[in-house]
A and B are shown apart, each in its own frame.
Chain A
């Protein structure tokens, strides 16, 4: 399942809803991304996320389907927020559930690595010295490349 939304999310509620009645699940891995108050030595007051409605949903669904297939997941969820956010706010949630923990952990890392390089979101950070668009990191590309096959 994927959701792209402005609203916040409740991690424990999402886990419960996702795993309800699926008693063959033995492990659930979750990752929550938060807005940091510092970026490259610069103090951040606001973060605004722009995205490409339509393509975003398509890409997230594709990334999720790839994870489900590769790790044979029993359940999964990606929630990504957009719009104006503040330091401490939740941005992204990935949940992966499987019979065993290895698959859940690995698939969760894969989701985040791929999402960072393939989902059409753009962050804009605001500080006292004004606003600037966040630049893509080469290390994110390296992290995504390790899952290539």
Chain B
């Protein structure tokens, strides 16, 4: 699946997009965050505050317990600040 990062998550991780293949036991957004946070110091920093990071599955907002099976694009970003 494709993972996208926006705003300061993109800066902390050092990339805006990557392909990942998480193991089968990673089934929802919360577990995916835990798994990604292990990938390096930049990731750990980006996901340090689990409460603040928002997620979208295939361009729809998704909560921590949302299942990721079948998802093609998952995005992580801070709370939005447009307008």
Bound CA–CA A116/B80 (angstroms) = 7
Cβ contacts A to B, 27 pairs, < 8 Å = A33-B83, A50-B6, A51-B6, A51-B82, A52-B4, A54-B59, A55-B56, A55-B59, A58-B59, A80-B82, A80-B83, A91-B83, A92-B82, A112-B83, A116-B80, A116-B82, A120-B56, A120-B77, A121-B80, A121-B81, A121-B83, A122-B6, A122-B78, A122-B81, A133-B78, A133-B81, A135-B81
CB distance from A25 to the nearest CB of B (A): 25
Q: Does B70 contact A (CB under 8 A)?
A: no
**Distance between B55 CB and nearest chain A CB, rounded to angstroms:** 11
Q: Interface on B for A, CB 8 Å cutoff?
A: 4, 6-8, 10, 56, 59-61, 75, 77-83
Q: In the complex, are the beta carbons of A50 and B7 less than 8 A apart? A: yes
Q: Which of A54, A58, A123, A135 contacts B82 (CB 8 A)?
A: A123
Once bound together, how far apart are the Cα atoms of A133 and B77, in whole Å? 12
Chain A at the B interface: mostly helix, strand, loop or mixed? Answer: mixed
Residues of A within 8 A of B (CB): 33, 49-52, 54-55, 58, 80, 91-92, 112, 115-124, 133-136, 140
* A122-B82 contact in complex given A50-B6, A52-B4, A55-B75, C-beta closer than 8 Å: yes
Tally of contacts, chain A with chain B, CB under 8 A: 70
Q: Which of A58, A91, A92, A136 contacts B80 (CB 8 A)?
A: A136
Chain A residues near B7: list those with CB within 8 A.
50, 122, 124, 133
Instruction: Using known A-B contacts A55-B56, A122-B7, determine if residue A136 contacts B82 with beta carbons closer than 8 Å.
Output: no
Neighbour of A134 across the interface among B4, B60, B75, B81, CB < 8 A: B81
Residues of chain B contacted by A92 (CB below 8 angstroms) = 82-83
| Nearest B residue (CB) for A113 | B83
Residues of A near B79 (CB, < 8 A) are 135-136
Q: What's the minimum C-beta distance from A96 to chain B, rounded to whole angstroms?
A: 15
- Chain B residues contacting A134 (CB-CB under 8 Å) are 81
| Chain B residues with CB below 8 A from A119, complex form | 80, 82-83
The distance in angstroms between the C-alpha atoms of A140 and B59, with both chains bound, is 22
8 tightest Cβ-Cβ pairs between the two chains A and B:
A121-B82, A136-B79, A122-B7, A116-B83, A55-B59, A134-B81, A123-B81, A119-B82
